[in-house]
Amino acid sequence: MVHAQVHGAAASGHRDRTPRTVGARQLAAMLPDPARARPAYRHLAHAIGELILDGRLALHVRLPAERELATALGTSRTTVTALYDLLRENGYAHSRQGSGTWTALPAGRAAKGVSRLLRPEDTAIDLARAAAALPGQVLADTLAEIAPLAAGHAGTLGYHPYGLPELREAIAARFSARGLATTPEQILVTSGAQHGLSLILALLSRPGDRAMVENPSYPNALEALRRTGLRTVSVPVTDGGGDGGEGGDTGGWDSEIIESTLRRSVPQLAYLIPDFQNPTGGVMPSGERARVLHAAHRSGTWLIVDETLAELALDAPAPAPFAAHGSADAAGKVITTGSMSKTHWAGLRIGWLRAPARLVTELAAQRVATDMGGSVVDQLLALALLNRAEDLLPAHLDRLRAGRTALTEALRTHTPHWSWRTPPGGLSLWVDLGAPVSSALAERALAHGVRIEGGGYFGADPGLFENRLRIPYTLPPETLTEAVQRMARALADDPRPAAPAQRPHWIA
C-alpha cells in the first residue's frame, strides 16, 4: 500500500490550516496506468475520488501542478487538465486563485454525528456495536463467588477514586505479564475505556488544541475529541497490511506520515489503537511502535494508546504494550487505556488507564470531580473475572473465531462482490463494498431488521469511507448468517439510495 506522502501536516484534518501538498510521483504511484483505460481522464478521476473517500488521499491537500502530474503519469497535459476539470465538476477538487487545485468532498457527503441514542425497545439484529455477550452462567457463578467479599466491603465507606486496590494490583500484574512492568500506583480504574479517555482529555487538553488521530478510527473517541473542541489532524490507516517498502508489513500504518505529522503539527495529544485497530483490524508492528513513540517524544505529544482490543488475538498475539517500545523517558508521555468490555463484558462498565503515578493522582482528582469513583461490587466482579481470565478468555476467543468464520462464509455466499482482509484478531471486518453505498445500505438494512452504521462514522473527516462497512462477528454464527442474508436482500430490494432517516445512531 502506498500512501500519499503529504508534505506539510500530512493527511490532515479539515480544521488544520497548515499548507499541504501531495507530490506528483506519490500521487501517480496510487493511480492506475492511464494507458490502460479510455478515456484516461475519467478513469483517473474515478480513482482519485476513491482515494479521497477511502481516506488514503487527505482532504484539503494541494494536487500537483498539471505538467508535473502529466510527466509522472507519462500522459499528456491535456489529459490532466481534463482530469482536474472533472474532479472539480464532481466536487472532489476546487481551485483557489493562484494557489492550485485542492482535494475536496462533494457536497452532501457529510456524515451525521453519533450522538443520538438508540431507543431501548430496538429489536433489530445489532451490528452497530461490536461487543459480545457474557454467558449467563459465568455471571451467575461469579456473582455468587464475590458475595462474601462484597459483604466484607459493606463495612467500609466504599469510596475508591483510584479504584479498588486489589483490582489495581491485578491490572498492573496483567500489564507486567504482557511485557510492560507496571505498579498498582500507575493504574486508575475507570468506568470503561471511554471514561478513561474523557478524563484524560479533560485534564490534558484545551479547546483548539491539536490531536492526531488515525483515519478511520473509533467513532466515540473521535466524538469525544470533537466535543472537547480539539482540532483533529488525521493520518491514514489502511487494512492492506501495507507493503512497507523495505520495512515489510506495517499493519496499515505509515510511520513516515505519522512522524512528519507529529513534527509539523506538534499536536498536544494523539489517539491510537495499535492492536486490532477498530475498524481496520490492523496490528501495528513493534518497529513502527518504536518509531511513533520516539517521534511523539520529540514533539512532546501525549500518546493515548487504546489497548481495549489488545487481548483479542485470534491468530497471533499482538506485540508487547505500546509503552514498552521506548525509553522510560519516552514512555512517560504514554497513557494506555484498557477495558473489560471486549474481553469479558461491556455491562460491567469497568476499564482502566495506565499512566505515570503522578499523573494518575491528577486524573483521580479529575475523577472525583466527575463521579467520585466506581462501584465496589462491579470492581469485585471484574477482579473475579480477571482472576479466571486464563479459563474464560480462550472460550471467548473460540466463539469469536466461530463468528468470524460464519460471517466470512455468509459474505462469500450472499455478497460475493464485497471484499475484506481477514483481521488477525479483534471483533470485526472492515468490508469494502466496491461502491459508495454504505449509508444507503445501512438505512435499507434497518427495514430488514439489521442495525448497522455506514463506514462514514469511522472517518476523521465527514464523508469518507462510504464504500466501507464495519461488520462485527460478535453475535452467534446463525445470527450473523441471518444478518448477512438480510443485508443481501436489502441490497437487492431497492437499488435507489434510501433517504437518510432521522433516527438514533449509536456505535460501539
CA separation for the pair 192, 505 (Å, rounded): 20
Tell me the three cell numbers of residue 508.
460501539
If one counts every other C-beta atom within 10 angstroms of the C-beta of residue 498, the result is 17
- Residue window 235-274: x/- pattern of binding to ligand PLP, with contact defined by CB under 6 A: --------------------------------------x-
When the beta carbons of 4 and 237 are compared against ligand PLP, the nearer one is 237
> What is the full DSSP assignment across 404-431?
HHHHHHHHHHH-TT-B----SBSSEEEE
User: Is 117 within 8 Å of 496 (Cβ atoms)?
Assistant: no
Judged by CB under 6 A, which of 278, 280, 336, 366 binds ligand PLP? 278
Is residue 77 within 8 A of residue 67, CB to CB? The reply is yes
CB of 340 to ligand PLP, least distance (A): 7
Residues 54, 221: Cα–Cα separation, whole Å:
19
Q: Is 474 in the site for ligand PLP (CB under 6 A)?
A: no
- Choice from 5, 26, 142, 194 touching ligand PLP (CB under 6 A): 194
Burial of 95: CB neighbours in 10 Å, binned 0-12, 13-18, 19+: middle
Q: Closest CB to ligand PLP belongs to which residue?
A: 192
CB of 276 to ligand PLP, least distance (A): 9
- Which of 378, 376, 369 has the alpha carbon at shortest distance from 349? 378
Give me 17's grid cell: 490550516
Closer to ligand PLP by CB, 175 or 218: give it: 218
* 508 in contact with ligand PLP (CB under 6 A): yes
Please select the residue that binds ligand PLP; options are 41, 84, 92, 218, rule is CB under 6 A: 218
SS3 303: strand
Q: How far apart are CA 225 and CA 222, in angstroms?
A: 5
Nearest-approach distance from CB 273 to ligand PLP, in angstroms: 5
Q: Site mask, ligand PLP, residues 298-337, x = CB under 6 A?
A: --------x-xx----------------------------
User: Is residue 351 part of the contact set for ligand PLP (CB under 6 A)?
Assistant: yes
State the nearest-atom distance from the C-beta of 306 to ligand PLP, in Å: 5
Q: Is 400 in the site for ligand PLP (CB under 6 A)?
A: no
Hey, what's the cell of 132? 459480545
Asked if residue 267 lies in contact with residue 300, where contact means CB atoms within 8 angstroms, the answer is no
Decide if residue 192 touches ligand PLP (CB under 6 A).
Answer: yes
Binding mask 411-430 for ligand PLP (x = CB under 6 A): --------------------
Convert 168-186 to b/e letters by CB count within 10 Å (16 or more is b): bebbbebbeebebebebeb
Contact residues: ligand PLP, CB under 6 A? 130, 192-194, 218, 273, 278, 306, 308-309, 339, 341, 346, 351, 508
